[in-house]
Structure 1
């Protein structure tokens, strides 16, 4: 069938492997980085964070910035996500090097959500 949708993407769902590597922009169309991975709550199944890879060169020396998933909006015209943040706000956000991933526990989650002015969800 010519109109068959790929198995890893539907009109409202997308597979995680297609999200990884997607570009993230701010409203001023500045490229902030790419989504390194998505952190999903094991119990609820809801996406909690998009981990933004930012800085470095070709992924080397880059930092990882967890951004609450609810802050992202997919823009079909851009083919990427938009988040209402400046580069300075991202640079000041909680982050880690890839090999130094934090425990994504409640204390860390509160730190991330509070930085962005959001209440930490009780999952």
Structure 2
């Protein structure tokens, strides 16, 4: 996916309502997970990503800060993010527990 024409989200848009459900793409532009939920707002918010699994089964929830992700809207308005983290690197993080 060519992200060059996508619009970066502003700090005030980094909210649970906006980010929950967003697809996360890795450095090779592969889908590596989705945002399960968010704690807080802005670049310091903790974003919980379900990594791996199939149709939500077997996915591992991990938490990283919003600033580690480049959130944007595509031409259809759908929110997604790109990260430098690979799927394996995210899966190696400690599991997020509610």
What TM-score, normalized by structure 2, do the two folds share?
0.69
- Structure 2: state its 5+ residue gaps: 1-8
For residues 27 and 75 of structure 1, what CA distance do their matches in structure 2 show? 15
Structure with the greater alpha carbon radius of gyration: 1
For residues 27 and 53 of structure 2, what CA distance do their matches in structure 1 show? 22
The correspondence for 2:69, drawn from 67, 72, 76, is 72
What does residue 21 of structure 1 align with? 21
Q: How many angstroms does 1:71 deviate by?
A: 0.5
SS at match of 2:18: helix
What does residue 90 of structure 2 align with? 90
Contact kept in structure 1, 2:51 and 2:87, CA below 8 Å? no
Runs ≥4 residues deviating over 6 A: none
Q: How many angstroms does 1:54 deviate by?
A: 1.4
The superposition leaves residues 60-95 of structure 1 with CA deviations (integer Å, 9 ceiling, x where unpaired) of 232101011111112334841011111221121111
What does residue 58 of structure 1 align with? 55
Q: How many angstroms does 1:23 deviate by?
A: 0.2
- Structure 1: state its 5+ residue gaps: 1-10, 103-123
Instruction: Pick 1 or 2: higher relative contact order, CA cutoff 8 A, min separation 6.
Output: 2
- Report the aligned-residue RMSD: 2.3
Q: How many angstroms does 1:49 deviate by?
A: 1.1
